Amino acid sequence: MIRKFLFLFFFFLGIILISILFLPALLMPSKIVLFGGKLMGHWSGICLKIFLSTKIIIKGKENIIKNEKFFIASSHQSMFETFYLQTIFNSPIFILKNELLKIPIFGWYLKKIGSISVNRNKISKENLGFIEKIKNSVQNSNRPILIFPQATRVSPDDRIPFKKGVGRIYKELGIKCQPVAINSGRVWQKNNILKSNKSITISILNPINPGIDSSNFVNIIEKNIYNELDVIN
């Protein structure tokens, strides 16, 4: 219990201090804010290792797409991947729920780094144009798009269907997809349920080339990620 309390205390303290330290960066080029995001990612890993004795394993580094545009589709079990994936990939552009942009300071940072929001509860003009925002981001940046096809954090054993939106993004962008399976829920679940002396595995799977029918793509990526989660859980 004490270890879990210390983890949460120092993790959030570090995130708050980094956020305050980088406040002036909101008026500077976005690459400075992106560096702050990487610091947060490394801090999350440090806190997990020190206070929960968590081992972080990265599989499939050789599969990381290089020297071309791509987007990332990752499983989502905890807050961990939103921070730590920034240390593995080139500061991904997040596709996230609109509510996160309304959080003071944190939301300001998300806007500054070009995050793309979507309102999951209704159809709006803003939602209808979000594919164009994604396409513009891909064309004007060398940073990959990051999407969580489950659209929410799930428990390690949940196998909910992937949202069809990831298929639309794949079809519209016409670029490779980098699937990623992460079993972070074994250590850090929703509502800050924590477990110690376990490992988190980040498995970077073989890329999926463009050109597949969008429905088949969703089925393939869902199967590949869930099969890998069954292996690493």
Q: Give pLDDT tens digits along the chain (233 positions).
A: 899 999 999 999 999 999 999 988 888 888 888 999 999 999 999 999 999 999 999 999 999 999 999 999 999 999 999 999 999 999 999 988 778 777 877 788 888 888 888 765 554 445 557 788 899 888 888 999 999 999 889 999 999 999 998 999 999 999 999 999 999 999 998 888 899 999 999 999 999 999 999 999 999 999 999 999 999 98
In a domain, 15, yes or no: no
Dist. CA 85–CA 83, nearest whole Å: 6
In a domain, 94, yes or no: yes
Listed residue (191, 175, 174, 153) closest to 74, CA to CA: 153
The pLDDT value recorded for residue 175 is 96
157-207 pLDDT, tens digit each: 999 999 998 999 999 999 999 999 999 999 998 888 899 999 999 999 999
Q: Residue 174, Cβ neighbours under 10 Å: how many?
A: 11
- HSE-CB at 72 with a 13 A cutoff on CA atoms is 30
Residue 138: give its domain's CATH number: 3.40.1130.10
In a domain, 137, yes or no: yes
In a domain, 19, yes or no: no
The pLDDT value recorded for residue 125 is 47
In a domain, 130, yes or no: yes
Contact 179, 73 (CB under 8 A): yes
In a domain, 49, yes or no: no
| Domain residue limits at 211 | 55-232
In a domain, 42, yes or no: no
What's the structural domain count of the chain?
1
In a domain, 202, yes or no: yes
Dist. CA 61–CA 185, nearest whole Å: 21
Q: Residue 198, Cβ neighbours under 10 Å: how many?
A: 15
